[in-house]
Chains A and B, each alone.
Chain A
């Protein structure tokens, strides 16, 4: 495994500037993110880890443009997301972002190839080009021989790889993954994180992964420790580090 290369400094692709977010539930107002400022670089796999409820999923939703901020700005690829309306955000996500979720969220009726092709057809690609890209993505995640199978015929790890291929085929600049391994056993979790890491390296993609899975720490280029809506630590893990007790520890 390669050491993360800090020089020459890769370009900053995703920035949070003084981002705050709170939710109101009845009379109680809970602040989830406290004046958070953050830079993320292209070509890196950044892992945000922390106990559940620490605000890491909210941070992911805000950085990816799925949710707005109460105050502060998110600047993705030089574009301030807070000035975009719903349509423009959809268009931005279509062209620049990929998502991988904890649940694989695959359509039961479609085979692996069609799952990957489906979002591509909305990009305005020709059917031939969409199919070529879908095949290439599935080959890249190692599902070449199984691309004709439906989700019911695939294992959990294979389904997550289809989901990754679906995000990857769009050739996004930003790839967001929310707990991508928590539904998988350790061997499959290992495969998934390796694929995500490789995508960051070979495609120059900004990969932001949210997880409380300590096994992933050693595979990230950068680990942000989060608790109570604040970033408490920002470090480059040694490749074979074991999780240190503390904020990276899963809470549940």
Chain B
């Protein structure tokens, strides 16, 4: 079988190049946009995704992890009583004001008071054990390396949080947050920094580890109903992380912006690609008409056009993937927050292929001009 579509694509590659480039760039833009959005808004839930806890207990209706209100300390007991739970630890969240030694003015910071023991769940993925151990020093705090400039400090410097002196004992990666700067401290230090008197004997969150993490949803359901310790709710880490990310995405309007931009990219890409494919069909219209005169059905000719559209899409998207991979590696080395999971990447590529297919369908319509009777002139 002679592959007309592929042979033409190879021989007349210049004619198809604009379409390939259009699909390639559309795919690349979708990939990078998705990676940036996931990277930026993924940091909204860094407390959850950077920790090893399976369950989170907090104030009912909390939309995002940074909006937590305190709950009764007795909830810890309720969690510990459940046989499925193997460990529970508190998470003390303090919204605070930072004044560094350099002239940076006031910086809004989120202080995370965590269990500094080596087996602590919070920030288990973001803090190496040696660094975590240093939090046990009085008034010790850890910040993200990328935040040093905005805080105006270096490791070893002192600063003031809510009027209380603290000392930066180390830096880590993967602590960057949205809407403010993350500062990690021990539970003891954090309670010193919390100036709200109503928070005595209360805690922002309790996190729990389960014997069987796969049963998280079930256990959360079971723990949720109890009202003996006042208002609280229990979520799986996955649910709470997603809720926090969605809150930021839609609260900031970024979600709508992303969808809008994705639509524009799709539209522009489809216009360029379909015009190029239409021009290619029109350029060969007499040859297509001759095939039809010889009895090759219009359906078969449409297949040729669609195959061309498919290959244009495939080649373009291979380009997107390669360029996207390079861009992501570059972004990582520059501490630009990017994250891309395989499913999202696949979705972006499917959108790119959809663009090529839609363009092919548009080009297919111009085949109606391949009327063999017009060749008899």
Interface residues of A (CB under 8 A from B): 57-58, 60-61, 64, 66-67, 87, 90-95, 97-99, 101, 103, 105-110, 114, 117-119, 121-122, 127, 150, 166-167, 170, 178, 210
Contacts and interface: CB of A to CB of B under 8 A. Distances in A.
Contacts of A108: 8, 11-12
11 contacts: A64-B293, A66-B376, A90-B297, A93-B294, A105-B289, A109-B10, A114-B2, A119-B295, A121-B2, A122-B295, A210-B376
A101 B296 CA distance: 16
B375 interface: yes
A61 B293 CA distance: 10
Contacts of A67: 373
Counting chain B CB atoms within 10 Å of each CB, the highest count among A103, A109, A121 belongs to: A109
Interface of B: 1-2, 4, 7-8, 10-12, 284, 286-287, 289-298, 300, 372-373, 375-377
A92 B292 CA distance: 11
Contacts of A167: 294
B373 A95 contact: no
Given A101-B376, A107-B4, A121-B1, A94 B286 contact: no
Contacts of A114: 2, 7
Nearest to A59: B376
B295 A105 contact: no
A119 B291 contact: yes
Contacts of A66: 293, 372-373, 376
Contacts of A90: 292, 295-298
Contacts of A103: 286, 375
A99 B373 CA distance: 11
Contacts of B7: 107, 109-110, 114
Given A94-B295, A119-B294, A99 B372 contact: yes
B310 to A, nearest CB: 17
Given A94-B297, A117-B2, A118-B291, 20 more contacts: A58-B376, A61-B373, A61-B376, A66-B372, A67-B373, A87-B297, A90-B298, A93-B294, A93-B295, A97-B295, A103-B286, A103-B375, A105-B286, A105-B287, A108-B8, A119-B291, A166-B294, A170-B294, A170-B295, A178-B375
Contacts of A122: 295-297, 300
Contacts of B286: 103, 105
Given A109-B8, A127-B1, A101 B375 contact: yes
Contacts of B291: 118-119
Given A101-B376, A114-B7, A94 B296 contact: yes
